[in-house]
Structure 1
Amino acid sequence: MEQLDIITFGEAMAMFMANYPGTLHEVDQFTRELAGAETNVAIGLARLGLRSGWASKVGNDAFGKFVIERLKNENVDIDHVLIDKNYPTGFQLKSMVLEGDPEVQYFRQGSAASHLMSDDLNEDYFQSARHLHMTGIPLALSDSARAFARHALSFMKKNGKKVSFDPNLRPTLWATQEEMVKEINEAAFLADYVLPGIAEGEILTGSKVPREIASFYLEKGVELVVIKLGAEGAFYKTATEEGTVRGFHVEKVVDTVGAGDGFAVGVISGLLEGLTIQEAVSRGNAIGSLAVQSPGDNDGYPTKAELEKYLENNLQGVI
């Protein structure tokens, strides 16, 4: 089996983006794209030249075929994508906005991905990768998807692999906030790298202070915590070092969706390539800033050459 740099898993959906501003029920023209936090990360890493794989289930339908073909075209390994003949691929509608966050409506309940279960996990496939990137979304999809996620996390840790974890909170998918916080933190405590946003950090730890949020996870055995601060950049902390890395100036924010996943792409790729933490976080800030300048969830993610050129032209992003 081919060796991979990184594996991620979760739900992919067809996304229909409005072609002009307005409320979703009024828009009658959309452009189809791919959505999914974990597919965003897999695509971003593949564009940077890393061997990334994505594991999941899709329906035996047009949307499922679209997901598979799109990932193939992005050079993401899909050998662990299962076709489910009983349940459909989810989709979503996304509005166009001139500023701020877009409106998104999901049609994902009962999807094929939500029927992932622990027995679906191919251990040989996961063993072939040196790193696992996980988000909190599969933990929220269903009990069986949560079991798959827990199995993947424990298997990779048991086999000495590094694990990064982005909480990617989706409160509407959880029965209660208390359950969400408990389950997300239990997974985060097992990870090597935890990458929350500042607002997520407050929900999960009760603190608004980046250093306190980071310490909360470091005390549980996490190796590195990087907290996204939006336009201000990001704060990182380990047992021995900490710092803030400035963000990159953006003239016009087009769409914020996918920026956090782009940030994860930068940090993870940097660490996998042996960059310093500060350099990896700066790369995360760079890709996040590129992501908010394009309408699709991953349209703005760069190739390695594009990233190097962007960094050369925007040295003010580095401390």
Structure 2
Amino acid sequence: MKHYDVFGIGNALVDILVPVEDSLLQKMGWTKGIMTLVDSEVQGGVLVTLDGHKKELRSGGSAANTMIALANSGGTGTYTGKVSEDTYGEFYKQDMEKAGILFEVPPSKEGHTGTCVILTTPDAERTMLTHLGISTTLTKNDLDLDKLKKSSYSYVEGYLWDGPSTKEACVLAMEESKKAGVKVAFTFSDPFCVNRSREDFLRLTKDYCDLVFCNAEEAKALAASESKEEALKFVSKLCPNVMMTDGSNGAYVSENGTISHVSGFAVQKLLDTTGAGDSFAAGVLYGLTHGFNPERSAKWGNYVASRIVQEIGPRLSVRLMGRQEEILG
């Protein structure tokens, strides 16, 4: 019996959520709908411009969002990410544990906790300005391998494939998972991650992964194909289980090469797409660790994602724990 459903690893970032009008986004000169890495000075200038706007803080980072939504569904997990001994770092730990996820990585005495300013326009698109801060200094020594071995799945975000020490941590987590019989789940995170490290992602997917999460654009980037169907077939030949999201069209599930489509849920009012893919992964991981088959797991993932896009920010205001039978039937 495993003690944790999921052992998550990713960048630890404090999200600073700010609703803005399109006109302000254009005036500031940022391209809508994408994530841009910025330094602390640029991000500080953006926050000065946003002085007077309503802001909310959340513990974030892609894999962290997944872990929090997993706990909301009733799952258990522990998260590995790097923060600093500063105000944002203290907030991060408290917020993660308040959400139900264990976070015990010792903070760094140097540097600043990473932050992500998320600008959400009225059409629900989010534009992210990310300063990774101390999160990029995560090393393999930060991994609690005892907790990893007590987990059903390890879950690694593709955003970590950016620096030498974080790459080493990813590979060690995957290798130790395989040795301990822990299933490896990997999310491609973003098309730019795939394009920048395509050969590495191909190798990781083939050599280590039991389950891959991607959206259609990420799959097409890995497969170097313009067809989402062909891209899914390509990824499916590398990994036995693939979950590919396709926006409002729901998701595609590939299990040992057999592909099926799982429809999505109607959304009454689309407010913010932040964390939709992360929430889908949370629902799937909850399902797979609680006896659901892949299609039912994807259905629950679709439902969790459908709820998150009706919220501002990547955090659900409703509790989904224990509601799976009621909602899925």
1:262–1:298 contact (8 Å) kept in structure 2: no
Does residue 164 (structure 1) correspond to residue 185 (structure 2)? The answer is yes
**Whole-angstrom distance in 1 between the partners of 2:246 and 2:271:** 18
The answer on whether the counterparts of 2:82 and 2:108 sit within 8 Å (CA) in structure 1 is yes
Q: Distance in 1 between matches of 2:210 and 2:171?
A: 15
Deviations 1:152-208 (A, max 9, x none): 11110122111111100263xx6xx65421222222222111111001111111224
Specify every segment of 5 or more residues in structure 2 that has no aligned partner in the other structure, as ranges: 29-45
Q: Tell me: CA distance 1:105–1:161, structure 2 relative to 1, closer, same or farther (3 Å).
A: same
Which of 116, 136, 153 is residue 158 of structure 2 equivalent to?
136
Other structure's SS at 2:231 match = helix
- The equivalent position to 2:66 in structure 1, one of 20, 28, 41, is 41
Query: What code does the residue aligned with 1:46 have?
Result: A
In structure 1, what is the equivalent of residue 14 of structure 2?
14
Q: Residue 100 of structure 1: CA displacement?
A: 4.2
Higher mean C-alpha displacement, 203-212 vs 259-268: 203-212
Q: Report the alpha carbon displacement of residue 302 of structure 1 after superposing the two structures with TM.
A: 4.0
* C-alpha distance in structure 2 between counterparts of 1:119 and 1:186, whole Å: 23
User: Which of 113, 123, 126 pairs up with 1:99?
Assistant: 123
For residue 300 of structure 1, report the CA deviation from its aligned partner: 5.2
1:101 to partner: Cα distance? 1.5
Aligned to 2:169: 148
CA contact (8 A) 1:137 1:170 kept: no
- Give the direction of change, closer, same or farther, for the CA distance of 1:88–1:293 in structure 2 (3 Å limit): same
Contact 2:6 2:76 in 1 (8 A): yes
User: Which one of the candidate residues 71, 75, 80 is aligned to 1:50?
Assistant: 75
Amino acid at match of 2:64: T
Deviations 1:73-111 (A, max 9, x none): 1111123x1211012101121213110422211122xx2
Deviation at 1:34, TM superposition (A): 2.3
Query: How many correspondences in the alignment?
Result: 302
Q: TM-score, normalised by structure 1?
A: 0.88
* Deviation of 1:272 (Å): 1.0
SS at match of 2:217: helix
Task: Give the superposition deviation at 1:72.
Answer: 1.1
Q: CA deviation at 1:126?
A: 1.2
Q: Equivalent pairs: percent with the same residue?
A: 23
Q: Residue 117 in 1 paired to residue 118 in 2?
A: no
- The correspondence of residues 1-319 of structure 1 with structure 2, limited to 5 A, is 3-21=3-21, 22-23=24-25, 25=46, 26-28=49-51, 29=53, 30-79=55-104, 81-108=105-132, 111-140=133-162, 142-169=163-190, 171=192, 178-189=195-206, 190-220=208-238, 222-239=239-256, 241-299=258-316, 302-311=319-328
Single out whichever of 14-23 and 111-120 deviates more from structure 2.
14-23
Which protein has greater RCO, CA pairs closer than 8 Å, 6+ apart? 2
Q: 1:300 to 1:247 in 2, by over 3 A?
A: farther
Contact 2:139/2:166, CA 8 A, preserved across alignment: yes
> Structure 1 CA distance, aligned partners of 2:11 and 2:148?
17
- 1:67 to partner: Cα distance: 0.5
Name the SS of the counterpart of 1:183 in structure 2: helix
- Separation in 2, partners of 1:170, 1:53: 27
Q: What residue ranges of structure 1 are gaps of 5+ in the alignment? A: 313-319
Cα separation, 2, equivalents of 1:131 and 1:199: 25
Aligned residue for 1:5, secondary structure, equals strand
